[in-house]
Structure 1
């Protein structure tokens, strides 16, 4: 038995720099991105993704009453929703008022491929055995559409494995990592992994799919961890006063004092691929809105804005939802 009645895999591919922060500084970085506590790999928090799905479920900025009812059933009620989720004051299960949990569960978005600069191409999509093993394990545990991928080639990995056979036996440079020619291989199984990850992109993005399929590189866990410490961009952001300074400045006309600011923040680059899971909870498998209701609105979710700095174009992501076939208990 799997955890959920039905599961959908949500692929998120960054189109622009993306910042989903933690709200606290880390060392010299004032606004770091969210990372997994154990691995240090970037993540998209589940609360952020659930909020985006909730916001984009209805194409209308002012959802109709029927859409509001569906939103509450799927994602749960908010304080403002108490007693307002239907004309009768009751939900579809007959419960009065109060905060109600949603029928869907949303996991955090986990990084599965990161763009890394190279001397051979503008960039490669890079991943590691730990990420791939974790992805397949999560899909099996939740009943998601798990592919039959052979990961035996990743056992005791000491070099780089490429999906493009033309790269085998050639030196490979990824940022400051250098792999000697005899450590760069291209086994058949890597092509299948690359094809699966490319399938998480929209079908009409054929060029990007081909780039990922022909440019996937699997490197050892330790090397990938080192990349995640050094390859994530850190940007300086500045807020200037009317006097074009970051210090305090007094307006000579009004006498008012303004304060500028200088801070440093991490941002994920374009072309990162994340995967999250959306599941229909077994204890909420009742009449009304289901995971299929969300899938039917997939057109509203094709492009999402995740994280902060929306007004400067950050956080744009392509989104896909692929669901496993309903189990026997689904209704």
Structure 2
């Protein structure tokens, strides 16, 4: 079996929904991992979009059909980097030790480790890029974090892995925060969008037709793995540089681009 890591960046807010209404204030939440609560894009959504509109024999062999199982396996696209509003530098791209440890564990299990220079931060500490620091602090939304040290070594290594090159905007905005802080922003830092349905004749809001939906913000980076017996199957993934994932396509939601990093 051969494996390849794939990284996706949200160009617009993404709504990979759960397929049902919620009993909370958010009527339409995004899909989340049960154990961590981190947003996730299900593998079934990715695979369905990648093969959408293609019914030839070669596509059926790779992605599967009603009559046969596909030879290409995709994992769920897990959250790697979450954009959060910053007092300095406009926004930060944050991750945490748990996310990176799981990425390295999974990559090593598939025989393709990244060997990132992992670090650890706890409590209200952060490793941070230069653009988001202010008086030796990183101020994210309403949380003030003390800069434990520079993030340049880890940021450069991750930039090579994710983008395939050093991206200055990423390196200077990257921050490694504690697991608890990251979990907090995964719960509170997503977009909440109010939607309405209008009466066709009067163009006023229909009775009871107001709802709130959650969306993963633009600039978020996800990672997934593709697994196949034949490495040539990976070329099918390269045919789609841009994808539209989840609902609300007609209002610009869910546009992803495949980044240039990952594993050859």
Determine if the alignment matches structure 1 residue 75 to structure 2 residue 63: yes
User: Could you tell me which residue of structure 1 aligns to residue 80 of structure 2?
Assistant: 112
Which of 115, 126, 143 aligns to 1:177? It is: 143
Equivalent residue for 2:210? 262
Q: Give the deviation of 1:266 after TM superposition.
A: 0.3
Which protein has the larger Cα radius of gyration, Structure 1 or Structure 2?
1
* Unaligned residue ranges in structure 2 (runs of 5+): none
Asked whether 1:291 is paired with 2:239, we answer no
Pairs within 5 Å for 1:56-205: 68-78=56-66, 99-144=67-112, 146-151=113-118, 153-154=119-120, 156=122, 158-164=124-130, 167=133, 170-179=136-145, 183-187=146-150, 190-199=151-160
In the alignment, what sits opposite 1:85?
A: none
CA contact (8 A) 1:168 1:184 kept: no
1: CA distance, partners of 2:132 / 2:205: 51
**Alignment partner of 1:244 is 2:211:** no
TM-score (norm 2): 0.89
Change (3 A) 1:235 1:222: same
Cα distance in 2, alignment partners of residues 238 and 323 from structure 1:
40
Q: CA RMSD, aligned part only?
A: 2.4
Q: Does the CA-based 8 Å contact 1:201-1:318 persist in structure 2? A: no
Equivalent pair of 2:160/2:261 in contact (CA under 8 Å): no
2:116/2:158 contact within 8 Å kept: no
Would you say how many aligned residue pairs link Structure 1 and Structure 2?
262
2:2 matched to 1:14? no
The TM-score, its normalising length taken from structure 1, stands at 0.72
The equivalent of 2:169 in structure 1 is 211
CA distance in 1, matches of 2:214, 2:262: 32
Ranges in structure 1 where 5+ consecutive residues have no aligned partner: 56-60, 79-98, 249-259, 326-331
- Structure 1 residue 23: deviation in Å? 1.4
1:154 partner SS: coil
Structure that is richer in strand per residue: 2
Instruction: Check the 8 A contact 2:28/2:214 in 1, yes or no.
Output: yes
